[in-house]
Amino acid sequence: MFKNDLIAVAQSPLSHWLTHLPQQLAHWEQQQQHGELHKWLRCVAQLPKLEPEHVELSDTVTVTNQGVSEGEQNRIRGLLQQLTPWRKGPFHLHGVDIDTEWRSDFKWQRVAPHIGDLTGQQVLDVGCGSGYHLWRMLESGAEQAWGVDPGQLFMAQFMAVRQFMPKALQQRAHWFPLGVEDLPELKAFDTVFSMGVLYHRRSPIDFLTQLKAQLRQGGQLVLETLVVEGDVNTVLVPGQTYAKMRNVWFIPSTAALLHWLERCGFKNARVVDENVTELSEQRATEWMTGQSLVDFLDPNDHSKSIEGYPAPRRAVIIANN
């Protein structure tokens, strides 16, 4: 399944990853597959093979071909709908608009002005979801964009999008079913992104250390996460749920986060954006029909989560290794 991606690793400055990666992927293929993965991958395999005439890796990641028939469009829509919920996007694929739960382009607009020129870079996106931001990283000049995420539905979504892309782009975007904890100390990426993951980790300091271990000397970390207002000693550890999410552990203030980064040995850590998530950024759509942000907030006071905590506020922090 990952043959071409492993060849790309071998030909990249990350070739030392091959000491771990083939074995981990083989183990995953034998032991760890989700019960529905085969069904999802069958959908991907059934997508029509279409020549990409027009490609845009912009706010809506787009691949089109004028000659696609209505029948083919319906077929694509039907197959992609079997991969719901689609959380991170949006995408436009041969006449099919995938209006995802998240407008991930809003996040990218907050991040992109601060990351410098990615030209020629090897970039890693830890917790990359459907891989939407991997395409935006290529748009920003990255030579290769590598994503890792344990979510197997998201892998199928990534593969569905990638197979529509021109070959030259397919060879530059990669997705592995790994958690951050599965990564050896590669010390090789020019930029490591991790957006929307820190609060899911039980041990945020270990997490930051694991991210640091992926960076080459002088490389940059782009960290995006939930934050609360407060000083260097403020950290919210919610009860069983935060905004109805069960697996949320640490939500620090930006001052605390800068302090953690410094303790972990990062240099020049700075907050480049802070923003309260608006209902227009995360909402139910035809492609994610379940509950979304509006259901996670106090119906009488949108400045609070349904549990009474401060409503989701997110910061982007950049730091150097």
Ligand X SMILES: Nc1ncnc2c1ncn2[C@@H]1O[C@H](C[S@+](CC[C@H]([NH3+])C(=O)[O-])CC(=O)[O-])[C@@H](O)[C@H]1O
Instruction: Return binding residues for carboxy-S-adenosyl-L-methionine.
Output: 88, 102, 107, 127, 180-181, 195, 199, 314
Task: Rule CB under 6 A: say whether 126 interacts with ligand X.
Answer: yes
Residue number, 76 or 147, with CB nearest to ligand X: 147
In the annotated binding site, the residues are: 88, 102, 107, 127, 180-181, 195, 199, 314
Q: Is 84 in the site for ligand X (CB under 6 A)?
A: no
- Using the rule CB under 6 A, is 88 a contact of ligand X? yes
For ligand X, which is the closer residue by CB, 68 or 108? Answer: 108
Q: Is 85 in the site for ligand X (CB under 6 A)?
A: no
Residue choice 12, 151, 278, 307 for contact with ligand X (CB under 6 A) = 151
Contact region with ligand X (CB under 6 A), list: 110-118, 192-200, 212-220, 297-305: 192-200
Please identify, among the stretches 1-9, 91-99, 195-203, 301-309, the one whose residues bind ligand X according to the rule CB under 6 A: 195-203
195 near ligand X (CB under 6 A): yes
- Contact between 5 and ligand X per CB under 6 A: no
- Is 200 a binder of ligand X (CB under 6 A)? yes
3-state secondary structure the chain: CCHHHHHHHHCCCCHHHHHCHHHHHHHHHHHCCCCCHHHHHHHHHHCCCCCCCEEEECCCEEEECCCCCHHHHHHHHHHHHCCCCCCEECEEECCEEECCCEEHHHHHHHHHHHCCCCCCCEEEEECCCCCHHHHHHHHCCCCEEEEECCCHHHHHHHHHHHHHCCHHHHCCEEEECCCHHHCCCCCCEEEEEEECCHHHCCCHHHHHHHHHCCEEEEEEEEEEEECCCCCCCCEECCCCCECCECCCCCEECHHHHHHHHHHCCCEEEEEEEEEECCCCCECCECCECCCCHHHHEECCEEEEECCCCECCEEEEEEEEC
Q: Does 127 interact with ligand X (rule: CB under 6 A)? A: yes
Can you read off the two tokens belonging to residue 242? 């935060």
Q: Contact letters (x/-) for ligand X, 90-109, by CB under 6 A?
A: ------------x-x--x--
* 154 contributes a contact to ligand X by CB under 6 A: yes
Instruction: Based on the shown chain and the rule CB under 6 A, indicate whether residue 230 belongs to the binding site for ligand X.
Output: no
β-bridge mates for residue 62, sequence order: 56, 92
How many of the chain's residues bind ligand X (CB under 6 A)?
A: 20
Q: Is 129 one of the binding residues for ligand X (CB under 6 A)? A: yes
Looking at the Cβ atoms of 22 and 150, the one nearer to ligand X is 150
Residues that bind ligand X (CB under 6 A): 88, 102, 104, 107, 126-129, 148-151, 154, 179-181, 195-197, 200
